[in-house]
Structure 1
């Protein structure tokens, strides 16, 4: 769908897929902070790619996982009747989905929020197959 547009941008910017600068077009497939186009390494912005350290990324993943687990365990607990309607809890999946949406909006720009390996690894495989190679993994 976007292949022609991405390739035109890559030609204009002298980008070769799989090299470091190809992150500028790969970011079309996800959210990034710091945004490569606004970083000192690839653009003209104030951010640096090391603005988010490995420790910060690890803590972001741990916190997001903890929040998600807390919400799932608390709203699915048999003694929790808050979301119950006539003996059933039809809004539990909606509450879990809403939690995931909020967590993704908050933390996906930092670490891509890889709490679900299928959600994390699938897009990486697509990007690798689309020409970014091992840089996507």
Structure 2
């Protein structure tokens, strides 16, 4: 396989992974947003587990090709700490954002009659932000944009801390073989269950910006970009910073004290995995 063909396959894989995550995850968001009573009104864990299992499915479908980063924060952290080629960072991120855009288009195809009925029933419009929560995130009650930024730094730090631990081949208590995909999905679900009401737990710039860009073109206009209080930058910057923080915590505060880490420090060597592929 030529290098160019391999990269093309990796980018298609990254795009498809985010399509899967956004299509299924945003459809769960539609279930809680557009129906009254919502099927998730008393069972928010259902939304969280839907997002988490969407991530698991994406890993099973695409992990053998690209490693299923499916998140610019993951790609950046892997490039900094685990030797992922820096020349691939921008193409991977672009493919992930395109995947978010396509996923949002599929969500609108699935849900547009319900979205239009919801907006009509509540005297809302797309331009006014009606049903926008189906596609992209926004601050919850009492949450200002700068506070949301720090929330996303913290939540995404937990995400990357967990991913680096789960995918570290030298971590003896990490899940083995294909179980890593399920554990990463459950990690995403747990973060949502713990902090999702703050600002929708984007923890992934592509998951937010791709659908936000699509919604901007599909009639939501300035309610999507730049969003109220120019909020659009928060789900981009917060996860990118938080991902580096969480990965750095694992690399500097945990990994050196693993049995394999001590061996390496004494003169051994070992290759680090460069993807979140749990296989």
Bin of the TM-score, shorter chain as denominator length: 0.5 to 0.7
Residue 8 (structure 1) shift: 3.2
Residue of structure 2 in register with 1:17 after alignment? 126
- Alignment equivalent of 2:181, drawn from 93, 106, 129: 93
The 5 Å alignment of 1:41-60 reads 49=141, 51-60=142-151
Q: Using structure 1 for the length normalisation, give the TM-score.
A: 0.65
Question: Does the C-alpha gap of structure 1 residues 131 and 77 become closer, same or farther in structure 2, counting only changes over 3 Å?
Answer: same
Is 1:136–2:224 an aligned residue pair?
Answer: yes
Q: 1:132 to 1:93 in 2, by over 3 A?
A: same
Considering fraction of residues, name the structure with more helix. Answer: 2
Q: Is the 8 A contact 1:31 1:108 kept in 2?
A: no
Q: CA-to-partner distance for each residue in 1:45-72, whole Å, 9 max, x for gaps? A: xxxx5x1123331221011111112112
**Does 1:7 find its partner at 2:98?**
no
Which ranges of structure 1 fall in alignment gaps of 5 or more residues?
Answer: 35-48
**Length-normalised TM-score, structure 2:** 0.36
Q: Secondary structure at the match of 1:73?
A: helix
For the aligned residues, what is the CA RMSD?
A: 2.7
Cα 1:14–1:64 change in 2 (3 A) is same
1:112 maps to what in 2?
200
The size of the alignment, in residue pairs, is 116
8 Å CA contact 2:212–2:224 kept in 1: the answer is yes
5+ long unaligned stretches in structure 2: 1-109, 226-279
Matched, 1:64 2:64: no
Q: Is the 8 A contact 1:75 1:83 kept in 2?
A: yes
Instruction: Name the SS for the 2:116 alignment partner.
Output: helix
1:79 aligned counterpart, secondary structure: coil
Tell me the distance in 2 between the aligned counterparts of 1:84 and 1:104.
21
Against the structure 1 CA distance between its residues 31 and 109, is the aligned structure 2 distance closer, same or farther, given a 3 Å change threshold?
A: farther
Query: Offset of 1:81 from its aligned partner?
Result: 1.4
